Amino acid sequence: MDGVPEPHSGWTFLTNHARVLAAIADDRSVRIRDIAAHCRLTERAVQKIIADLEQDGYLSHTREGRSNTYRIDPGKVLRHPAEAGLTVASLLSLLVQAEADRATVPGGQSPAPT
């Protein structure tokens, strides 16, 4: 999870819950410490977000030794009424594609819109 951007203030388009979920989708055995660094959150905030996601059935984990392996329910429908019918899988596919596009453009700049 390198290429972490500089801290940002003000509003953003994605929620911290979406960022944490995307970080877990990228690496199912990622450590909370690494999620926190990548998402620019505290470890405590990440723990709370993971608890929220688990409580509502979007995420579960199994303990393997000293680490966790996470499982995302890809068929779970997003919570907001404006996204009625959209699944976690559709959200993550957009985020994964955007990440792949960003990785292929020199300097980390977003590709020009088409």
Tokens of 84: 């009625």
CA distance 100 to 96: 6
> Along the 114 residues of the chain, how does pLDDT read in single tens digits?
455 555 667 788 889 999 999 999 999 999 999 999 999 999 999 999 999 999 999 999 999 999 999 999 999 999 999 988 899 999 999 887 666 666 665 655 544 544
Residues 6+ away with beta carbon under 8 Å from 60: 54, 70, 71, 73
Q: What is the largest CA-CA distance in the chain?
A: 47
Q: What pTM does this model have?
A: 0.77
